[in-house]
Amino acid sequence: MSFFDELQLLDFDEWGRTVQAATEKDVINALTTRRRTVADFAALISPAAVHFMPQIVREAERITRERFGQTLNMYLPLYLNNICSNCCKYCGFSAGNHFKRRILSADEVTEECEAIKKLGYETILVVTGESARGGMDYFREMIPIVKKYAAYLMMEVQPLDVNDYRELRELGVDCVCVYQETYHEPTYLDNHPHGKKRNMRYRMETPERLGEAGMDKIGMGILLGLADFRADACMLAHHIAYMRKHYWRSRLSLSFPRLRPAEGGFSPPHPVSEKELVQFICAFRLFDPELEISISTRESAKFRDAVVPIAINSISAGSSTQPGGYAVDKHDLPQFVINDDRSAVEIEEHFRKLGLDVIWHTSRIGG
């Protein structure tokens, strides 16, 4: 039974009520138990846990240092195209938005990679829109080019079949990230009215196909702000537990993209505050100490400076969220607005002063 099938047995709204009903006693039990369940996780993200945030933060930092030491990995997103056949209400790349689309050629990809090399990055995250024009044929041409510049290569692209993921592994891909967006089916369908992405089962079973393909690392996450974010987080915790049970050979990573207003007039219906985001990050660290957690440039410099030493394993800096943004053409529409625009050098200097060991080459073993 896939996780999509298991999700049908979980009551999304009931888990939202479970979070709201958690007591201070539940939070204390969640803090002191050795092996935390999803129910413990629900207590840690509850309103009742707000009073315990100093203890939760200390425990999250202790676990992070115990498991990952002082390391902080640096990666950079490389957008290859912004063409997309999906209609996603929250995304600047949505097919319904009218702007100049572009797909980088092999020469342009090389030019972008040369610019990234000068920045010092050896871990690259390839990002594309979801379109047949930017599918496997395109990847077969472009991934070998990027791999020449990447010691560790990640992708955030459209869901694919198991055999496609096996081929990507052979081409040198080490990690694939796919966000479920939301586990609340009515909200999911409402926000994806057209395109292949509307097939919720196929998207949700993507981590399983990656596990079957033997991918080294699988990136997961939800878009914070689409639905009741506390209930969504509980579903994500269930999904992580499922992956640990069935695909334990692959590492898991987690990111926390908070939705912002986007091209097309979208505004998140359930906005998440910075305090709530810190609570979520720490709760996931306590729930699964092995998770590799990243925080994107969607967040402000002040916020990232505060949360990174607590529970974060990897960050980007000096990022561009548009095709050709490093060397070719810096005037296309970005996927989202960057709120931390410091250079990679500034980021490195800041966190080294805090005692973190900033790593430019992500290890398969060390995360």
Each residue's pLDDT tens digit, 70-118: 999 999 999 999 888 778 887 767 666 666 778 999 999 999 999 999 9
The predicted model scores a pTM of: 0.93
229, with CB counted inside 10 A (0-12, 13-18, 19+), is: buried
Query: Is-contact 126 109, C-beta < 8 A?
Result: no
pLDDT number for residue 98: 64
Q: What is the pLDDT of residues 250-268, one digit of tens each?
A: 999 999 988 865 545 677 8
Q: What is the DSSP letter of 85?
A: -
Distances (CA, A) of 311 to 64, 264, 301, 304: 6, 34, 16, 11
Domain spans, the chain:
3-359
Out of 101-105, 212-216, 278-282, which region has the weakest mean confidence (pLDDT)? 101-105
> In this structure, what token pair is assigned to residue 47?
């309103």
Q: Other CB atoms closer than 10 Å to residue 199's CB: what's the count?
A: 12
Distance, in Å, from the CA atom of 344 to the CA atom of 141, rounded to the nearest integer, reads 29
Residue 334 has pLDDT above 60, yes or no: no
Q: What angle do CA 247, 248, 249 make, to 5 degrees?
A: 95
Res. 137: pLDDT tops 70: yes
Looking at domain 3-359, does it have CATH number 3.20.20.70? yes
* 230 and 19 Cβ atoms separated by less than 8 Å: yes
Q: What confidence tens digit (pLDDT) does each residue in 139-166 have? A: 999 999 999 999 999 999 999 999 999 9
- What are residue 314's DSSP bridge partners? 73, 294
